[in-house]
Amino acid sequence: MLLNYIKIAWKVLLRHPFYTFITLFGISLTLTVLMVLTSFLDHLFGSHYPETRRDRSLYIMQMEQRDSSLTSRQSGPMSFKFLTDYAKSLETAERVTICTFVNSSNAYVGSQKIKLNTKFTDADFWHVTQFDFLEGKPYNEQNIANGDYVVVINDDLKKQYFGNTTESVVGKDIDIENIHYKVIGVVKGGPVTRPFTYSDVYFPYTAPKSNYQKSSMRGGYVAIILAKNKADLKTVQDEFQSHISRIPLPGIQEGFKYATLTVKAEPYVENFIGTILDGGPGLATIFFGIIGFVLFMLLGLPAINLVNINVSRIMERASEIGIRKAFGAPVRTLVWQFIVENIFITFIGGAIALVLTAVVIHLINASGWIAYADLTINVNVFLISLVVCLIFGLLSGVLPALRMSKLTIAEALKS
């Protein structure tokens, strides 16, 4: 039966090549956009270099303090001391790293200025993340304790600062903001879309200008907690919240009287969305409204267009519908036949889209539009694309099939 449906669908496609081209073009283009989007979301939220263990990591990005009337609030990253006291001390975690978010700085090669993204980290940073060291090694607890002026740089900065050399630059000096540092390691850079780990230069947190000694709660630091396994995430979160609940309330911090204090250790996606939705429920409505609108534009409009094409394509086959009904096909079976055919056509479009997506992804990766972009079509992207194809096929097939089912046999046979 299924083979019969697919045979027919294939013949119908071959019957009108131009019509087929328009249909497949529409489907492929829509699915390409969706697949590239899926790949981009996977790039943003998936476990990729150097955060390959995101699936068992929790991110602490900011604390929020509110006054008793909930009319004013302060929020932002935390101090090194705060995170040491409340996050580093977690017993259920495998490791915890404390680092700054992305800062900026300048270096000079001759008279040419190089704009740098910088990050201060502890030694655990190199264990929680999984950077590829192209040269040298990371700084360790000893370097930090000694207050060594050492840095880890990425391969892009090596090229900019030391030129196109294949020689190792480990042990060479680099001047940043007029301070001499010794390069201790060179890593393969990560994309800018992973701000917890992205940087051109990594300093030990004891390096100048890190402000790690700040004793107040707020500062410039964030943390990544690595759980022993995925199942432990909840336990680690609970322990962290129990630490936070020990902080006496209300309190005063830099002149601000706060009655509530919120700090969350969350998986990356929740952390990311939480940051966007931090503005309250109004912003959440707008955010999800925009997401819904974009999805409707991407999935709904092409589906409606395809519904129109399919209606005329199915009505063209009224005689076949009449024949099948006359020989005993119930309406439900015919509706199913047309849905199967439509899904089959959508999957052909999906296969074309997969090839187009591979090309687009390659172009994005090669364009340098996102530094170190590593968009891929992995199993997740592929499976999500399959589901999208299925939904798209159903959306655009059900309505024409129902319309067809209303045709009376005598009418259908006359056409």
Partner 1 sequence: MITLQNIEKVYRTSTIETLALNNINLDIRKGEFVSIMGPSGCGKSTLLNVMGLLDEPSKGTVQLDGQAVTQYRDKELARLRNQKIGFIFQSFHLINDLTVLDNVEIPLLYRSQNGRPRQDYAKDALTKVGLSNRMKHFPKQLSGGQKQRVAIARAIVGNPDIILADEPTGNLDSAMGNEIMNILQQLNDDGATIVMVTHDEQMAKRTHRLIRLFDGTQVL
Q: Is residue 415 a contact residue for partner 1 (CB under 8 A)? A: no
Q: At what angle do helices 331-367 and 2-15 cross, to 10 degrees?
A: 60
Query: Contact, 27 vs 349, CB < 8 A?
Result: yes
- Closer CB to partner 1, 5 or 101, in the complex: 5
378-397 exposure pattern, b = at least 16 Cβ within 10 A, e = fewer: eeebeebbeebbeebbebbb
Token pair for 264? 């969350």
Q: Is residue 234 a contact residue for partner 1 (CB under 8 A)? A: no
Q: Is residue 408 a contact residue for partner 1 (CB under 8 A)? A: yes
Query: Contact, 58 vs 266, CB < 8 A?
Result: yes
Q: Is residue 11 a contact residue for partner 1 (CB under 8 A)? A: yes
CB of 17 to partner 1, least distance (A): 14
Among 1, 70, 231, 379, contact with partner 1 (rule: CB under 8 A): 1
CB of 321 to partner 1, least distance (A): 10
User: At residue 237, what is the residue type?
Assistant: Q
Q: Is residue 17 a contact residue for partner 1 (CB under 8 A)? A: no
Residue 344, SS3 per DSSP: helix
Stretch that binds partner 1, among 11-19, 127-135, 176-184, 343-351 (CB under 8 A): 11-19
Degrees, nearest 5: CA angle 127-121-244? 90
Q: Is residue 324 a contact residue for partner 1 (CB under 8 A)? A: yes
> Residue 248 — φ and ψ, nearest 5°?
-65, 140
- Closer CB to partner 1, 188 or 324, in the complex: 324
Characterize the bridge pairing of strands 112-121 and 201-204. parallel
- Closer CB to partner 1, 46 or 322, in the complex: 322
- Closer CB to partner 1, 336 or 382, in the complex: 336
Q: Is residue 409 a contact residue for partner 1 (CB under 8 A)? A: yes
Judged by CB under 8 A, the chain residues 328 through 387 that form the site for partner 1 are 328-333
- Closer CB to partner 1, 386 or 410, in the complex: 410
Cα separations in angstroms, 133 against 151, 152, 223, 322, 362: 13, 9, 22, 69, 25
Contact pattern from residue 76 through residue 105 relative to partner 1, giving x for each residue in contact according to CB under 8 A and a dash for the rest: ------------------------------
CB of 407 to partner 1, least distance (A): 12
Token pair for 86? 């409340």
Residue count, binding to partner 1 (CB under 8 A): 26
- Closer CB to partner 1, 104 or 408, in the complex: 408
Token pair for 172? 């060479």
Residue 374, SS3 per DSSP: coil
Q: Is residue 410 a contact residue for partner 1 (CB under 8 A)? A: yes
- Closer CB to partner 1, 243 or 324, in the complex: 324
CB of 325 to partner 1, least distance (A): 7
Among 276, 286, 297, 326, contact with partner 1 (rule: CB under 8 A): 326
Percent helix, strand and coil across the chain, each to the nearest 5: 50, 20, 30
Q: Is residue 327 a contact residue for partner 1 (CB under 8 A)? A: yes
CB of 413 to partner 1, least distance (A): 6
Residue 103, SS3 per DSSP: strand
Contact pattern from residue 293 through residue 322 relative to partner 1, giving x for each residue in contact according to CB under 8 A and a dash for the rest: --------------------------xx-x
Q: Is residue 213 a contact residue for partner 1 (CB under 8 A)? A: no
- What sections of 90-231 are H helices per DSSP? 125-128, 141-146, 155-162
Asked whether the bond before 281 is cis by omega within 30 degrees of 0, the reply is: no
Owner of token pair 């081209």 = 21
DSSP letter string, 243-269: HHTTS-SSEEETTEEESEEEE--B-HH
CB of 415 to partner 1, least distance (A): 11
Asked whether the bond before 208 is cis by omega within 30 degrees of 0, the reply is: no
Instruction: Please give the Cα distance from 271 to 324 (Å, whole number).
Output: 55
Owner of token pair 């919120």 = 262
Residue 201, SS3 per DSSP: strand
Q: Is residue 286 a contact residue for partner 1 (CB under 8 A)? A: no
CB of 320 to partner 1, least distance (A): 5
Contact pattern from residue 120 through residue 159 relative to partner 1, giving x for each residue in contact according to CB under 8 A and a dash for the rest: ----------------------------------------
User: At residue 207, what is the residue type?
Assistant: A
Query: Contact, 183 vs 174, CB < 8 A?
Result: yes
- Closer CB to partner 1, 329 or 371, in the complex: 329
Q: Is residue 18 a contact residue for partner 1 (CB under 8 A)? A: no
What is the contact surface with partner 1 in residues (CB under 8 A)?
Answer: 1, 3-4, 7-8, 11-12, 15, 319-320, 322-333, 408-410, 413
